[in-house]
């Protein structure tokens, strides 16, 4: 069955304004006639050179001459600067861009925005690739591998700048930075034209080429677009497009000593890659007029395909109890408030993955919150609920006793042991049951016994009966204490004919049902109980120093008892520890036979009650 081209594949997707734009464009065929040679480049009609990848090797001219209609209905891109680890905000952008491409038979490019010479590192490139793959997306489209580095477009960006100069649309300014700032004007007052604004084309071209040749020191000249110093939008007052920067670039080395400004580079990157919908966050809204000015002129100059890409802004994702600014995350790591970028409490994707959050849970969350045009602050419990929902579906059930105390069954035959059958998932009988060893000495949770019970307490207290989940009904007889009054063991007798699953076992009606492990068989493991990193909903709000608002109890490490079979868990195995939440075997610290478990989320939202 085929779906109309302009409708998303999946009808249950929530619609939003970006979908409306895309659907309208597909309907009108706005981008249908664009050509695409299979790789980024200028328009096939452009007189610009075939270009140089990574500043050096020229692509053979034939690379651009074979050009067909673009088979991708739309093209989007995720354009991270490889200068840090991706956080939950980036996940929003990834899910949106890759998700839209998938829904509308399009391609989404992974583009490293590495035009800034000083900051990028391979470590970040690798971690970004990992994170996007982990979220479940790919940049392969048919035979195209759409992974790109913006720095490989430097030659084209340079040639386009020369075209702008020749067209009288750009000039070399030689004012100092201070002079330029002073003549820019304010929000209420227009700016002043630079004394260099009327240089001739020949003079501009000469100076620009000498800038490129390395004749001038940093900051002595700058190339500016020639627009309008009186524009109401400060970004249109002759913005800088190229600056001199004698710096070594991680990919192009010392090939260049002039570098394009982000506002100039980004639209061109989009155009060279045939992007149709360039989705970015709201702070770029004021840049949209320049985006359109630049690409409009480059289209007129036959440099790029038409119609050019369009920029669409949406609100950044912000989450309560979290900070999502790279600067603040760096501070958390540098000052050792967390154990690195992949600390499970960090709102980074490497951290979330270690924590046990799932990619499907993230995708569900991003789909659910939709896309907004205004500032968006989402309650973190919404994300936690999505992770919980996903794990509820996918995580097998196991038993763990987090705060163990001995339960001694005094009438159980000495030395005897047997098996009890526990379902791997209560709603999925097809997942089968597992055999759990049972014996006369068990571990139970300390909180499952009270010597003098409060009202409504149905678990163990002297004289009361409970069922040991998937096992026998027992009747509590008392407890042992040490000199301080701490309970060291609980005693009971079992009812031998009450074993779950045996005939007549249902005749015993008890109100309490507790979990347990055979002390002789269980395995002691390290378990980390994570909580929110911040104690307040809006860290750093007002004048607050966000560091003072860290939750001092965001990590508790304990030794817990778990089912023996869990000794075989491998990194990233997820489980529900019944009554406790969802846990994952830590992908860094788990060793064969000695897994370390991280709690991803509790079974219920503990904060909902606490904060009401
Ligand atoms: P930060 O502000 O954390 O430093 P950034 O915007 O500088 O992030 P980039 O690497 O430039 O980081 O971002 C890559 C893409 O991710 C951009 O398109 C950006 O708009 C998007 N992005 C970053 N943060 C968020 C967020 N909180 N919500 C949605 N999209 C985001
Ligand atoms: Mg950025």
Task: Give the pLDDT confidence of 92-147 residue by residue, as tens digits.
Answer: 999 999 999 999 999 999 999 999 887 767 889 999 999 999 999 999 999 999 99
- Rounded to the nearest angstrom, the distance between the alpha carbon of 284 and the centre of ligand 1 is 11
How many angstroms separate the CA atoms of 215 and 193, rounded? 26
- The pLDDT of 556-562, averaged and rounded, is 98
Q: What is the mean pLDDT of the chain?
A: 93
- Rounded to the nearest angstrom, the distance between the alpha carbon of 15 and the centre of ligand 1 is 23
Q: Give the percent of the chain with pLDDT over 70.
A: 94
- Using omega within 30 degrees of 0 as the cis cutoff, is the peptide bond preceding 307 cis? yes
Of all residues in the chain, what percent are helix, strand and coil, respectively (each to 5)?
30, 25, 45
DSSP secondary structure string for all residues of 25-89: HHHHTTTTT-EE-SS--S-TT--S---BGGGSPBPPTHHHH--EE---S-EEEE---SSS--BHH
Q: Where are the domains of the chain?
A: 17-49+71-155+260-319, 173-259, 326-396+525-610, 400-515
Which of 326, 446, 579, 587 is flagged as catalytic?
A: 326
Which ligand 1 atom sits closest to the C-alpha of 316? 28
How many angstroms separate the CA atoms of 588 and 596, rounded? 9
The answer for residues whose C-beta is within 8 angstroms of residue 429's C-beta and 6 or more apart is 423
> Using alpha carbons only, what angle is made at residue 485 by residues 482 and 488, rounded to the nearest 5 degrees?
45
pLDDT-derived band at 606 (thresholds 50, 70, 90) equals low
Same topology, domains 326-396+525-610 and 400-515? Answer is: yes
CB 318 within 8 A of CB 378: yes
Structural fold of domain 17-49+71-155+260-319: Rossmann fold (3.40.50)
81 is catalytic: yes
The tokens describing 419, both together, are 């098996």
**Alpha-helical regions (H) of 395-460:** none
Question: 80: Cβ below 6 Å to ligand 1?
Answer: yes
- The pLDDT of 542-570, averaged and rounded, is 96
How many angstroms separate the CA atoms of 167 and 185, rounded? 26
Question: 82: Cβ below 6 Å to ligand 1?
Answer: no
pLDDT in tens, 346-377: 999 999 999 999 999 999 999 999 999 988 89
pLDDT-derived band at 14 (thresholds 50, 70, 90) equals confident
- The answer regarding whether domain 326-396+525-610 maps to CATH 2.40.240.10 reads yes
Distance (Å) of CA 466 to CA 338, 421, 422, 612: 42, 18, 17, 32
Q: Which residue has the higher pLDDT, 462 or 65?
A: 462
pLDDT at 609: 53
Look up tokens 């014996």; give the residue. 439
Q: Give the percent of the chain with pLDDT over 90.
A: 88
Structural fold of domain 400-515: Ribosomal Protein L25; Chain P (2.40.240)
Name which of 312, 276, 372 is nearest 14 in CA terms: 372
**Alpha-helical regions (H) of 222-321:** 262-272, 288-300
Task: Supply the CATH classification number for the domain 173-259.
Answer: 3.90.800.10
459 is catalytic: no
- Rounded to the nearest angstrom, the distance between the alpha carbon of 82 and the centre of ligand 2 is 9
pLDDT at 53 over 50: no
326 is catalytic: yes
pTM: 0.92
CB 234 within 8 A of CB 199: no
pLDDT at 64 over 70: no
- The protein residue with its alpha carbon nearest to ligand 1, atom 9, reads 80
Question: 325: Cβ below 6 Å to ligand 1?
Answer: yes
pLDDT at 45 over 70: yes
């Amino acid at each position: 069955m085929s779906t109309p081209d302009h409708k998303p594949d999946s009808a249950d997707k929530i619609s939003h304004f970006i979908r409306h734009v895309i659907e309208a464009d597909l309907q009108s065929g706005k981008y249908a006639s664009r050509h695409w040679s299979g790789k980024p480049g200028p328009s096939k009609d452009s007189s610009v050179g075939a270009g140089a990848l990574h500043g050096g090797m020229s692509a053979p001219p034939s690379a651009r001459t074979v050009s067909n209609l673009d088979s991708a209905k739309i093209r989007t891109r995720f354009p991270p600067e490889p200068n840090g680890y991706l956080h939950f905000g980036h996940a929003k952008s990834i899910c949106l861009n890759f998700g839209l491409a998938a829904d509308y038979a399009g391609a989404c490019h992974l583009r490293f925005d590495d035009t800034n010479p000083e900051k990028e590192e391979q470590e970040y490139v690798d971690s970004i690739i990992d994170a996007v793959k982990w979220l479940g997306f790919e940049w392969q489209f048919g035979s195209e591998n759409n992974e790109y580095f913006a720095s490989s477009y430097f030659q084209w960006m340079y040639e386009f700048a020369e075209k702008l100069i020749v067209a009288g649309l750009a000039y070399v300014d030689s004012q100092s930075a201070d002079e330029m700032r002073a003549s820019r004007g304010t929000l209420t007052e227009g700016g002043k034209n630079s004394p260099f604004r009327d240089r001739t084309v020949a003079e501009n071209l000469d100076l620009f080429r000498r800038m490129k040749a390395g004749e001038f020191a940093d900051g002595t000249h700058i190339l500016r677009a020639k627009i309008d110093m009186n524009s109401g939008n400060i970004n249109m007052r002759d913005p800088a497009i190229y600056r001199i920067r004698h710096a070594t670039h991680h990919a192009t080395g010392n090939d260049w000593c002039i570098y394009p400004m982000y506002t100039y580079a980004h639209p061109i990157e989009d155009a060279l890659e045939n992007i149709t919908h360039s989705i970015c966050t709201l702070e770029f809204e004021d840049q949209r007029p320049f985006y359109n000015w630049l690409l409009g002129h480059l289209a007129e100059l036959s440099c790029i395909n038409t119609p050019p890409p369009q920029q669409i802004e949406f609100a950044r994702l912000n989450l309560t109890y979290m900070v999502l600014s790279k600067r603040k995350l760096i501070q958390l790591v540098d000052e050792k408030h967390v154990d690195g970028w992949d600390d499970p409490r960090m709102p980074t994707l490497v951290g979330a993955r270690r924590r046990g959050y799932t990619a499907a849970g993230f995708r569900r969350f991003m789909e659910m919150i939709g896309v907004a045009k205004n500032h968006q602050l989402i309650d973190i419990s919404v994300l936690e609920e999505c992770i919980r929902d996903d794990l509820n579906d996918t995580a097998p059930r196991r038993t763990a006793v987090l705060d163990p105390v001995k339960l001694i069954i005094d009438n159980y035959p000495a030395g005897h042991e047997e098996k009890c059958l526990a379902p791997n998932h209560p709603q999925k009988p097809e997942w089968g049951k597992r055999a759990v060893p049972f014996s006369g000495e068990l571990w139970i949770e300390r909180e499952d016994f009270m010597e003098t019970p409060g009202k409504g307490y149905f678990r163990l207290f002297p004289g009361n009966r409970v069922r040991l989940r998937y096992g026998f009904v027992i009747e509590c007889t008392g407890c042992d204490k040490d000199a301080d009054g701490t309970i060291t063991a609980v005693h009971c007798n079992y009812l031998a004919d009450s074993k779950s699953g045996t005939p007549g076992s249902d005749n015993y009606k008890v109100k309490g049902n507790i979990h347990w492990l055979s002390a002789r068989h269980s395995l002691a493991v390290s378990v980390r109980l994570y909580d929110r990193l911040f104690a307040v909903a809006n860290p750093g709000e007002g004048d607050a120093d966000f560091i003072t608002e860290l939750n001092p109890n965001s990590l508790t490490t304990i030794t817990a008892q778990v089912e023996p079979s869990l000794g075989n868990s491998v990194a990233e195995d997820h489980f529900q520890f019944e009554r406790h939440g969802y846990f994952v075997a830590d992908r860094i610290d788990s060793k064969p036979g000695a897994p370390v478990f991280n709690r991803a989320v509790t079974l219920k939202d503990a904060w909902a009650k606490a904060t009401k």
